[in-house]
């Protein structure tokens, strides 16, 4: 099975940096995904880490430590449109398992 | 390219009834996965279809069943509906065997309410 732990809610200010942490326990680990989901919309792909280290993509970066079962998503230069839920999802043998998500509220 | 489309977008059923949800995968994708998302929760994996065969299943009872058609579209069927089946049902497609094989493209979902 897979257990995923991430904070339920976070609040940050426009222009700031926020880090969303995720710890997981999984069997048959094949990488870790982060998805963004705005209220009432479908999840959209943000990043994928299969090896340890940092992957940077514009304002978003994601880090993975396989030995620690730990990942984080870093969002820089926050914008109001970044207010959404962020879903941590380790990939098992067959499918992604999603955490409950972190609801990020960006304030002016 | 067209994205993943799902129908219907909303529907209401009563306990004990049956429902069929439909999904057209993104052009060029050959794998379809179905997820159930309850309010305030992350999506939960139901099953995945590849080459018209079930290719993995989550912790859902047999009354949840599916099909994949030769054009890679898919159906999710739920029999004997229960109140707890009320949720957003998400379909996601991907292309098995590609470098981005595990990147799922989600549809907007079908919101099912069971009364």
Give the pLDDT confidence of A68-95 residue by residue, as tens digits: 999 999 999 999 999 999 999 998 877 8
| Closest-CA distance of chain B to residue A46, Å | 10
pLDDT, tens digit, for every residue of B79-89? 999 999 999 99
Model pLDDT, residue A83:
98
> How far is B57 from A89, CA to CA, in rounded Å?
16
What's the average model confidence in pLDDT over A29-47? 93
Q: What angle do CA B90, B113, B60 make, to 5 degrees?
A: 55
> Are the Cβ atoms of B42 and A99 closer than 8 angstroms?
yes
Asked if residue A6 lies in contact with residue A21, where contact means CB atoms within 8 angstroms, the answer is: yes
What's the average model confidence in pLDDT over A59-72? 96
> How far is B69 from B50, CA to CA, in rounded Å?
10
> Are the Cβ atoms of A95 and B56 closer than 8 angstroms?
yes
- Residue A27: pLDDT above 90? no
Residues of B in contact with A44 (CB under 8 A): 106
| Closest-CA distance of chain B to residue A71, Å | 17
The closest alpha carbon to B24, from B88, B76, B71, belongs to B71
pLDDT beneath 70, residues of chain B: 1, 97-101
Task: Decide if A26 touches B, using CB distance below 8 A.
Answer: no
How many CB atoms neighbour CB B103 within 10 A? 15
Strand stretches in A7-52, DSSP E: 9-13, 18-25, 32-37, 44-49
Model pLDDT, residue B54:
93
């Amino acid at each position: 099975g897979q257990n995923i732990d991430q904070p339920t809610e976070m609040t940050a200010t426009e222009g700031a940096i926020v880090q969303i942490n995720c710890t997981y326990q999984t069997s048959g680990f094949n990488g870790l995904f982060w998805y963004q989901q705005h209220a009432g919309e479908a999840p959209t792909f943000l990043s994928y880490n299969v090896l340890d280290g940092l992957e940077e993509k514009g304002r978003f970066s994601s880090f993975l430590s396989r030995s620690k079962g730990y990942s984080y998503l870093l969002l820089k230069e926050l914008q109001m449109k970044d207010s959404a839920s962020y879903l941590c999802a380790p990939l098992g043998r067959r499918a992604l398992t999603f955490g409950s998500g972190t609801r990020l509220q960006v304030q002016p | 390219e067209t994205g993943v489309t799902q129908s219907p977008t909303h529907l209401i059923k009563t306990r004990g009834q049956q429902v069929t949800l439909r999904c057209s995968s993104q052009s060029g994708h050959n794998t379809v996965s179905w997820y159930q998302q309850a309010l305030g929760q992350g999506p939960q994996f139901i099953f995945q279809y590849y080459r018209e065969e079930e290719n993995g299943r989550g912790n859902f009872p047999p009354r949840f069943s599916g099909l994949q058609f030769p054009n890679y579209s898919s159906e999710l069927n739920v029999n004997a509906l229960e109140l707890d089946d009320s949720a957003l049902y998400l379909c996601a497609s991907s292309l098995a065997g590609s470098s981005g094989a595990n990147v799922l493209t989600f549809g907007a979902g079908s919101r099912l309410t069971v009364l």
